[in-house]
C-alpha cells in the first residue's frame, strides 16, 4: 500500500444566476498521514436553513478528520469512521430542526470520498456526484439517490426521459431530514486517477461531454473548476454549485 497520497486540488462554490442564497458547501483536506478527504454538500430548505445544514456537515467532518491520530487501516475502518461521523451529524441537524421552526425540514446531500494509500472509498447521500477520469474516459462513481434514478432503475423511464421528468429534482435520501440516515458506500482501487465531486447545479448545466473535455485538458485544477462554473452559468446557472477536482501525483 502507498504510505502517502499527494496531489493537486482545487475547490470552489458559486451561487449561480437564479438563487438568492448559496446553500452548497465543500471540504477538501489532506491530513498528516496522507489521507485525503473530499466532500461536496447541497443544502435543502431555502429559508429553512439548507445553507446551515450543508455547512454544519462539512464543519463536523473537518473537525473529526483533524482529530484522527492514525492512518486508516482498511476499507472497513474508513466506512466505520464515515458512518459514525455522519450518524452524529444527522442526529444533531435533525434535533435542531425539531427544536426550532426556522430550521424545520432542513437537510443536505453528501458526496464524499476518502483516498488512503491505494484505496478509494466513496460515501453517498442524495444526488450530488463523484466522477473519476480513467484513460481519458469520464465515469460516474456515485449513484444518485433520487426519484428519477429510481424510475430509471425500475425501467419506467430512460436516462433521456429523466432529464425532463417533472420530479427529477426530488431526492430519496438526505442528512438531517429523518431521525436515521443511510449511507451508500463503494470501494475502488486508487492508482492516481483524477477525481471530481460536484453538486447538481454543475451536472444539470454542463454536459458529460463538456465535463470530460475540461477534465482532460492540461489546465490546472483551479482553471478547470472555474471553467466548469463558467460553462454552467452560460447554460443558465439554474442552481448553486460546488466543485472539487483532485489530481493525484503518480
Q: pTM, whole model, 2 decimals?
A: 0.92
Model confidence pLDDT, tens digit, residues 69-88: 999 999 999 999 999 999 99
pLDDT tens per residue across span 162-196: 555 556 667 899 999 999 999 999 999 999 999 99
Task: Please name which of 249, 250, 194 lies closest in space to residue 225, comparing C-alpha atoms.
Answer: 194
Residue 193's alpha-carbon distances to 41, 148, 156, 203, 227, in angstroms, are 22, 29, 34, 20, 20
Split at pLDDT 50, 70, 90, the class of 3 is: very low
Task: Indicate the average pLDDT of the chain.
Answer: 91
Average the pLDDT over each of 38-52, 152-166, 234-248 and give the range with the smallest value: 152-166
pLDDT at residue 1 in the model: 40
Amino acid at each position: 500500500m502507498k504510505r502517502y497520497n499527494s496531489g493537486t486540488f482545487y475547490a470552489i462554490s458559486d451561487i449561480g444566476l437564479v438563487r438568492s442564497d448559496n446553500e452548497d458547501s465543500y471540504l477538501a483536506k489532506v491530513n498528516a498521514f496522507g489521507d485525503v478527504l473530499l466532500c461536496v454538500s447541497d443544502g435543502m430548505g431555502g429559508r429553512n436553513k439548507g445553507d446551515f445544514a450543508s455547512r454544519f456537515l462539512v464543519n463536523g467532518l473537518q473537525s473529526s478528520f483533524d482529530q484522527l491520530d492514525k492512518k486508516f487501516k482498511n476499507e472497513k475502518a474508513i466506512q466505520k469512521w464515515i458512518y459514525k461521523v455522519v450518524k452524529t451529524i444527522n442526529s444533531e441537524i435533525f434535533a435542531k430542526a425539531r427544536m426550532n421552526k426556522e430550521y424545520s425540514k432542513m437537510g443536505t446531500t453528501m458526496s464524499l470520498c476518502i483516498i488512503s494509500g491505494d484505496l478509494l472509498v466513496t460515501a453517498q447521500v442524495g444526488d450530488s456526484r463523484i466522477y473519476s477520469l480513467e484513460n481519458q474516459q469520464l465515469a460516474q462513481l456515485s449513484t444518485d439517490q433520487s426519484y428519477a434514478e429510481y424510475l430509471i432503475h425500475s425501467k419506467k423511464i430512460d436516462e433521456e426521459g429523466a432529464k425532463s421528468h417533472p420530479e427529477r429534482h426530488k431526492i430519496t435520501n438526505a442528512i438531517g431530514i429523518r431521525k436515521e440516515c443511510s449511507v451508500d458506500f463503494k470501494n475502488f482501487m486508487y492508482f492516481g486517477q483524477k477525481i471530481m465531486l460536484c453538486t447538481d447545479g454543475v451536472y444539470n448545466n454542463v454536459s458529460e461531454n463538456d465535463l470530460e473535455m475540461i477534465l482532460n485538458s492540461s489546465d490546472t485544477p483551479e482553471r478547470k473548476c472555474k471553467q466548469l462554473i463558467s460553462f454552467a452559468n452560460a447554460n443558465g446557472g439554474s442552481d448553486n454549485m460546488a466543485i472539487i477536482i483532485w489530481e493525484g501525483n503518480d
